[in-house]
Amino acid sequence: MKNYILAALVPLLWGSTYAAVGLYLQDMTPFWVAVWRALPAGLLLLLLKPGKPPLPWSKMTLLSVLNIALFFPLLFIAAYRLPGSVAGTLGATLPLQLMFMQWLVEGKKPEWKMLGLAIIGLSGVMLILNPSADIDPIGAIAALTATALVARASLWLKSWPVTDIFRLTAWQLTLGGLLLLPIAFLVEGAPKMVTLQEVPGLVWVSLFNTAFAYWAYTRSIKRIGPDAMAMLGMVNPIAAVTLGVVLVGEVLGPYQWIGIGLVFLSLGLMIRAKQKKAKTLPAQTHEPQTC
């Protein structure tokens, strides 16, 4: 159960990204926010545990491009152009995208039970969405594309042998941040001076949302698998909506509360199914755990 608790912290933290942008980072641009989120976090982790990357440079670069250099700008484009509940809702398509990608790439047909739970959870997320919200098409495409990148990278993380999760996280963030630097200059020009009002938002998204959350995310992919991690990702829009209520004063209607209940129902049934399946497997078939 502790593995699931740690894994659930990841979408909770990532769900706070939209509130952090709305409260502190509205005057910054998406690509430079992505740089400030990735590079300081990666350098801090490398300072704490220096050493060579735990994967070959080709694989390390692929993960850094998908998980950081492409994902972060797309995420912040969505955050700047969409309400948090909308962006979180589109991100909650991850379980369905992951199942489709496993079917397409690995030939693995989805389990009917997990597919059904993913659809129940996604239905709940759709109820959370405010029907009156205007959906920006560029922001929607950015959110869906970012989710697809996470799905692809999750399958790589699952199959590639990794001996050091901490160092893998450090190198992903550092390489991704370095790759983002010239792109940010090219797209948005030189960065503006960071103000004191923006510091809390940058500290939050870099230290907690990134340094800690990406370590926990990579560890959780190895411990509980990408399918379970994708299902837990449905907590993301719940966090986004809850922070909107608490910090911004948004009001939830009955459909939103029903949606939250459906999401938690699907998550609870998913965790129960995974634990039941794990108990029926012989001990020797379990994957070795990495930490």
pLDDT, tens digit, 9 for 90 and up, residues 133-151: 556 888 888 988 998 998 8
The predicted-structure confidence for 147-189, as pLDDT tens digits, reads as follows 899 889 988 988 888 889 899 999 999 999 999 999 999 999 9
Based on the structure, what is the number of domains in the chain?
A: 1
High-pLDDT (> 70) share of the chain, %:
90
Please report the pLDDT score of residue 281 as a whole number: 58
The answer to whether 37 and 206 have CB atoms below 8 angstroms apart is: yes
Mean pLDDT of 217-232: 83
- Structure tokens that stand for 161 in this block: 């042998």
Half-sphere exposure of 251 (CA within 13 A, CB side): 1
Q: What is the pLDDT of residues 69-115, one digit of tens each?
A: 999 999 889 888 877 667 777 777 777 788 888 888 878 887 888 78
User: Which residues, in sequence order, are CB contacts of 192 under 8 Å at separation 6+?
Assistant: 27, 28, 32
Nearest to 85 by CA among 209, 205, 244, 264: 244
User: Is 240 within a domain?
Assistant: yes
In this prediction, residues 224-235 reach a mean pLDDT of 79
Question: Does the pLDDT at position 288 exceed 60?
Answer: no
- Residue 289 in any domain: the answer is no
Is position 290 within any domain? no
- pLDDT number for residue 285: 42
Q: Among candidates 34, 79, 46, 62, which has minimal Cα distance to 215? A: 46
Using alpha carbons, list the distances in angstroms from residue 190 to 2, 40, 184, 186, 197.
44, 18, 8, 9, 20
CA gap 107, 80 in Å, rounded: 36
Q: What is the pLDDT of residue 63?
A: 93
Task: Judge contact between 11 and 145, C-beta under 8 A.
Answer: no
Q: pLDDT at position 135, please?
A: 67
Cα(233)–Cα(227) distance, integer angstroms: 10
Residue-level length of the chain: 291
Residue 177 · residue 68 · CB < 8 Å: yes
Conformational region of residue 217, where left means phi above 0, alpha means psi within -120 to 50, and beta covers everything else = alpha
Q: Choose among 17, 60, 72, 6: nearest CA to 215.
A: 6
Asked if residue 50 has pLDDT above 50, the reply is: yes
CA angle 123, 266, 215 (to 5 degrees): 105
Q: 248 pLDDT exceeds 70?
A: no
Residue at 182 is within a domain:
yes
In a domain, 16, yes or no: yes
Residue 133 lies in a domain: yes
The distance in angstroms from the start CA to the end CA of the chain is 16
**Would 223 be classed as within a structural domain?**
yes
| Residue numbers of the domain that contains 225 | 2-277
Whose structure tokens read 């735990």? 54
CA distance 94 to 103: 14
Indicate yes or no: pTM above 0.75: yes
- Residue 277's pLDDT is 74
In this structure, is residue 282 part of a structural domain? no
For 266-280, write each residue's pLDDT tens digit: 877 877 777 777 677
